[in-house]
Amino acid sequence: MSDQIQVKTMAEMLANGEEPEVLFWVGCAGSFDDRAKKITRSFVSILNKIDIKFAVLGTEESCTGDPAKRAGNEFLFQMQAMSNIQVLNSYGVKKIVTTCPHCFNTLKNEYPGLGGDYEVMHHTQFLTGLMSDGRLKVEGGSFKGKRITFHDPCYLGRANNEYEAPRNILAKLDSELVEMKRCKTKGLCCGAGGAQMFKEAEKGNKEVNIERTEDALEVKPDIIATGCPFCNTMMTDGVKNFEKEGSIKIFDLAELIAEAQTN
């Protein structure tokens, strides 16, 4: 992306005596994964354009511990959680937005019991809020008439009962939302959760992401929208497996909004 983006860290803000409206928790995928970094930059560009005063932890951010916890390494999770909570509390962070449903779930649900109480939002919830406040304006334009299907991330959907925020965003794009036969509470996992992202799958007769990609291909979408960097990877791989990467694009909702943003 060629656009210049403006990002301040909490440390820089504190040094200037500033306080951000919200902390953007970037997450490991958003920080290091090449594909996810684009999502991160898209999200930041949205915030930049409408002058949302936000900050990141930058090099002070560390894994929330989610994959360790799902894999059963509660020690490592709590070590990560407590050191992150120390950092977050030292900056007096109150409100967090993140583009990763796994970070979202962990920060929102599992940190309070360890002393970290924050208002935590997934970026689709945050963007929905900005749109309904009138701060963020979008116009469908380039998405008009495009068939978009949304793949529910397990950790946003079933895990936290958020099915509407992503769909609200898609509704704003004047696109045609086509639901897969398994969606919302019945949405099939992409195969990456529970630390599966970091290991080979057990022996079986199919990869989960292939099964899920078939669901998506069935509704003949132009775009598969995701709200999770890991789902994004899995769906991208799945679409490539069917050699459909020319006709079907996988975008995070932040990228779609960035494209449609008019202010």
For 169-203, b/e burial (b = at least 16 CB within 10 A) is bbebbbbebbebebbeeebbbbbbbbbbbeeeeee
Write the single-letter amino acid at 136: L
User: Pick from 41, 123, 151, 249: which binds other proteins (CB under 8 A)?
Assistant: 41
Residue with Cβ nearer other proteins (177 or 197): 197
Cβ atoms of residues 70 and 106 within 8 Å = no
User: Pick from 181, 203, 243, 246: which binds other proteins (CB under 8 A)?
Assistant: 203
Question: CB under 8 A: which stretch of 47-55, 58-66, 133-141, 172-180 binds other proteins?
Answer: 58-66
Total residues at interface with other proteins (CB under 8 A): 73
Return d(Cα 263, Cα 48) in angstroms, integer: 10
Does residue 14 touch other proteins according to CB under 8 A? no
Does residue 129 touch other proteins according to CB under 8 A? no
User: Pick from 56, 253, 256, 257: which binds other proteins (CB under 8 A)?
Assistant: 56
Smallest separation, CB 195 to other proteins (Å): 6
Write out the binding residues for other proteins, residues 165-194 only, by CB under 8 A: 185-186, 188-189, 191-194
Return d(Cα 75, Cα 68) in angstroms, integer: 8
User: In sequence order, which residues have a C-beta less than 8 Å from that of residue 21 and are 6 or more positions away?
Assistant: 52, 53, 54, 95
